[in-house]
């Protein structure tokens, strides 16, 4: 069984957060240390620690995360100019909270995420 995280408590509204979207499958809230003018975390309401733990029964919640991202980007006024969606998996990728989550970032030009060998 996965260990409960701070995100679980936010989903249940036991901890205060600026929730911008919530339904039966996902919850989205503003990041407390934003890396862009718009920085929202979108999480499944079911605790899934990492992408490595995703199972077929999680498909609907993970799909809903994408639908929620597009809806929130529209609400935030960043859909037309563009935004970035990021999911980190484990420590080398920078995952800090082991409850799968998608970062929605936008509101300014974000530049390249990584310089890939083909881009150099």
Determine, yes or no, domain membership for 81: yes
Domain membership of residue 42 (yes or no) is yes
The answer to whether the CB of 87 falls within 8 A of the CB of 105 is: no
Tally of structural domains, the chain:
1
Strand stretches in 13-118, DSSP E: 19-22, 26-30, 38-44, 83-86, 102-106
Torsion angle, alpha carbons of 51, 92, 69, 4, to 10? 60
Q: How far is CA 84 from CA 6, 13, 30, 34, 54, in A?
A: 24, 27, 15, 13, 22
Give the global pTM.
0.91
Classify residue 1: in a domain, yes or no.
no
99 is catalytic: no
Q: What is the CATH number of the domain that holds 76?
A: 3.30.428.10
- Residue-range definition of the domain harbouring residue 92: 6-119
pLDDT, residue 112, reads 83
Instruction: Please state, in angstroms and rounded to a whole number, the distance separating the CA atoms of residues 2 and 53.
Output: 10
| Main-chain dihedrals φ then ψ at residue 75, nearest 5 degrees | -60, -40
Domain for residue 71, yes or no?
yes
Other Cβ atoms within 10 Å of 64 Cβ, number:
17
pLDDT of residue 116: 53
Catalytic residue among 58, 99, 101, 103: 101
Asked if the structure places residue 37 within a domain, the reply is yes
pLDDT at 20: 98
Consecutive 10-residue averages of pLDDT for the chain (120 residues) = 87 97 98 96 97 97 98 97 96 94 95 60
Q: What are phi and psi of 64, to 5 degrees?
A: -65, -35
Residue 32 lies in a domain: yes
**3-state DSSP assignment of residue 93:** helix
């Amino acid at each position: 069984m996965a260990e409960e995280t701070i995100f679980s408590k936010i989903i249940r509204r036991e901890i205060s957060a600026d929730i911008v979207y919530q339904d039966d499958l996902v919850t989205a809230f503003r990041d407390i240390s934003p890396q862009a003018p718009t920085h929202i975390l979108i999480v499944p309401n079911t605790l899934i620690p990492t992408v490595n733990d995703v199972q077929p029964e999680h498909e609907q919640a993970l799909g809903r995360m994408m639908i929620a991202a597009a809806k929130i980007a529209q609400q935030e006024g960043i859909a037309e100019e563009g935004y970035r969606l990021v999911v980190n998996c484990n420590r080398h990728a920078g995952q800090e909270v082991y409850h799968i989550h998608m970062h929605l970032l936008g509101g300014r030009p974000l530049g390249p995420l990584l310089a890939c060998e083909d881009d150099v």
